[in-house]
Amino acid sequence: MKMSKLFVQTLREFPSDAEVISHKMLVRAGYIRKLTSGVYNYLPLMWRVLKKIENIVREEMDAAGAQELLMPFVQPKELWEESGRWEVYGKELMRLRDRHNREMCLGPTHEEIITSIARDGLKSYKQLPVNLYQIQSKFRDEVRPRFGLLRGREFIMKDAYSFDMTQEGLEKEYANMAQAYTKIFKRCGLNTKMVQSDSGAIGGSVSHEFMVITDTDAGENDVFYCDNCDYAANSNHAVSKLPGVNEGVKLTGDWKTAQIVDTPNTHSIEELCDFLKIPPTLIVKTLVYIIDKKPVLALIRGDKQVEETKLMNAFGGNDIRIATAGEIEEMMAVNGFEAEKGFIGPKGLKEYNGYEITVIADETVKEMKNFVIGINQKDKHGVGYNWYSEVELPETVTDIRLVEAGELCPQCGKPLKVTRGIEVGNIFQLGTKYSKPMNAVYLDQNGKTQPYIMGCYGIGISRTAAAAVEAHYDEHGIKWPLAIAPYHAIVIPVSTKDEEQMRVANDIYTTLKKHGAEVVIDDRDERAGVKFKDADLIGFPYQIIVGKSISEGNVEFKIRETDEKTAMKPEEAAEVVITAINNL
């Protein structure tokens, strides 16, 4: 490919609306252009990268025994009603109507469609197990589409679905997919960690995410992990051992009797601690949440934070948010109190918005004695309170706590560490979550109908490309891993007017092409500086620069990953590239 013909417009500056590196780089280097919020054009360079990732995914999925198909992007409401998800899938599901007023949606994921395909086609145990996958665009009307390809509304995903007869069969396929994923990301030049995770809207019980570990802002997940053993989990799922952590922590207050004391203007735990001169571990903190429109109080020890996904799961909901100050005030009024944030407690709160108020306590409050708690009176708190005598311990006491670094590994007891991660893949054991409600069954050996035991396995193709940029860049541009680079190499004649330089550059270009390398020659009549800048920005893994030293028979060979430059003979330079691509 000639640079003069390559469809690419690099920009002088980073786009002003981009927050993260991959978004900035991919726009500036001419890979993507925004069409509308969260929706991007994949320009020719980008499309080459995406196809390479797709091909790696395809090769490894095929090698793992899965079969590719393609399902429609537009899906009918009826199937979503069968699974029960039409009602519960939130606003991310893009719903639309056709000319006959029939309701449809744009596929955010394809469990319903694949389950309908399976029940039509997989009727006998003799046909099982099966794993089917597709690579296709998905649409999710994300609340905050941001970060470019990392969190788009339209994005490309590989989604696979397995059908088994037994839980053991599913677990075997799950392990098979985990292994394929590890290979895929390694081939893409990415270091990933497989971490335990929450199952979210897809459902099921066991799930893992593949995270690209990054300390940039692009990592939307906190990952807790242990250096001593293999424990690693998303913060929405991570647990820790508390006993060791609690040594030396005061959990019992010194008040002789339960009483109500004045605590003016103590709206935060910190202010309350300062005022009463106590550690936060003596306070039972009450937070007010709205889960699927219903009021939920979360009780947790004053020094700990609530993990919202855990709380939502404990309640059994799909959508969680903290209540507003207005809602809290209203809730107080309805229940006959006058109090505001900072003074809320579970006692006496019965209903709100036509729903009974549910109280869920974290395990950390269970052992507390003579504690401090809100009593729904402004500028007052209860102190020296105890469970059962002054206030009921809620029926549901469970883990709703956000783990903190330094707490102890649930497996081996060593301190946990935390890092940020970008989720590039996700695997789930679904069980019969879709097959049962959709009546997707096969006949077993005894002629009895049985629902399939399902698994599902996703990889964000476009997110993986962006994550690769997050992991491989410097201030000059992208440093693509060779396996997913749009082109392997660029040949740069420093002066297009110099006949000798052009002759050698063209020779190298032809040799490389002949050996299967994907190569660009920068034939533009531009200053050398401009050409070097573009080559670095676009991120060609190898640059072969043909300049003055050709009079001594040498070219300059630059490796983008390290920015290392070496003088060598033109044929040697070509050889290095050819060897590298043959080793891919």
Which residues contact ligand ATP (rule: CB under 6 A)? 109, 140, 142, 151-152, 155, 157, 200, 202, 423-426, 458, 460, 462-463
What is d(CA 225, CA 232) in angstroms, rounded to the nearest whole number? 4
Minimum CB separation of residue 34 from Mg ion in Å reads: 24
Judge contact between 217 and 150, C-beta under 8 A: no
Minimum CB separation of residue 384 from ligand ATP in Å reads: 44
Judge contact between 540 and 504, C-beta under 8 A: no
Minimum CB separation of residue 66 from ligand ATP in Å reads: 16
User: 100 vs 144, which CB is nearer to ligand ATP?
Assistant: 144
User: 181 vs 480, which CB is nearer to ligand ATP?
Assistant: 181
What is d(CA 141, CA 352) in angstroms, rounded to the nearest whole number? 30
Q: Which one of ligand ATP, Mg ion, none interacts with residue 109, CB within 5 to 8 A by kind? A: ligand ATP
Minimum CB separation of residue 426 from ligand ATP in Å reads: 3
Residue type, 71: M
Minimum CB separation of residue 15 from ligand ATP in Å reads: 18
* Residue 582: CB atoms within 10 Å: 10
User: 20 vs 383, which CB is nearer to ligand ATP?
Assistant: 20
User: DSSP string covering 352-397, please?
Assistant: ETTEEPEEEEEGGGTT-BSEEEE-SBTTEEEEEE-BTTTBPPPSEE
Q: What angle do CA 375, 378, 381 make, to 5 degrees?
A: 40
Q: Give the residues across from 241 on adjacent strands.
A: 408
Distances (CA, A) of 334 to 60, 329, 330, 348: 59, 9, 6, 11
Residue with tokens 């242990």, as numbered in its chain: 226
User: 75 vs 426, which CB is nearer to Mg ion?
Assistant: 426
Q: Give the residues across from 391 on adjacent strands.
A: 387
Q: Which one of ligand ATP, Mg ion, none interacts with residue 142, CB within 5 to 8 A by kind? A: ligand ATP
**Of 69-77, 183-191, 366-374, 423-431, which part binds Mg ion (CB under 5 A)?**
423-431
Q: Which one of Mg ion, ligand ATP, none interacts with residue 169, CB within 5 to 8 A by kind? A: none
Q: Which one of ligand ATP, Mg ion, none interacts with residue 155, CB within 5 to 8 A by kind? A: ligand ATP
Which of 83, 358, 426, 554 touches Mg ion (CB under 5 A)? 426
* Residue 525: CB atoms within 10 Å: 8
Judge contact between 584 and 483, C-beta under 8 A: yes
Ramachandran area for residue 516 (φ above 0: left; ψ -120 to 50: alpha; else beta) = left
Closest CB to ligand ATP belongs to which residue?
Answer: 460
Minimum CB separation of residue 224 from Mg ion in Å reads: 16
Minimum CB separation of residue 20 from ligand ATP in Å reads: 13
Residue with tokens 């019965």, as numbered in its chain: 350
Closest CB to Mg ion belongs to which residue?
Answer: 426
Q: Which one of ligand ATP, Mg ion, none interacts with residue 203, CB within 5 to 8 A by kind? A: none
Judge contact between 210 and 389, C-beta under 8 A: no
What is d(CA 320, CA 477) in angstroms, rounded to the nearest whole number? 39
Judge contact between 198 and 426, C-beta under 8 A: no
| Interface with Mg ion, residue 207, by CB under 5 A | no
User: 308 vs 407, which CB is nearer to Mg ion?
Assistant: 308
Tokens of 228: 């001593």
Minimum CB separation of residue 221 from Mg ion in Å reads: 9
Minimum CB separation of residue 420 from ligand ATP in Å reads: 13
User: 152 vs 346, which CB is nearer to ligand ATP?
Assistant: 152
User: 304 vs 463, which CB is nearer to ligand ATP?
Assistant: 463
Judge contact between 352 and 331, C-beta under 8 A: yes
Closest CA to 131 of 452, 495, 561: 452
**Of 405-413, 420-428, 496-504, 541-549, which part binds Mg ion (CB under 5 A)?**
420-428
What is d(CA 186, CA 46) in angstroms, rounded to the nearest whole number? 20
Minimum CB separation of residue 133 from Mg ion in Å reads: 17
Based on the number of CB atoms within 10 Å of its own CB, is 130 exposed (0-12), middle (13-18) or buried (19 or more)? middle
User: 302 vs 458, which CB is nearer to ligand ATP?
Assistant: 458
**Of 94-102, 257-265, 422-430, 521-529, which part binds Mg ion (CB under 5 A)?**
422-430
User: 52 vs 151, which CB is nearer to ligand ATP?
Assistant: 151
User: 142 vs 498, which CB is nearer to ligand ATP?
Assistant: 142
Q: Which one of Mg ion, ligand ATP, none interacts with residue 204, CB within 5 to 8 A by kind? A: none
| Interface with Mg ion, residue 236, by CB under 5 A | no
Distances (CA, A) of 107 to 76, 95, 543, 557: 10, 10, 41, 47
Minimum CB separation of residue 209 from Mg ion in Å reads: 6
User: 218 vs 291, which CB is nearer to ligand ATP?
Assistant: 218
- Given the rule CB under 5 A, which residues bind Mg ion? 426
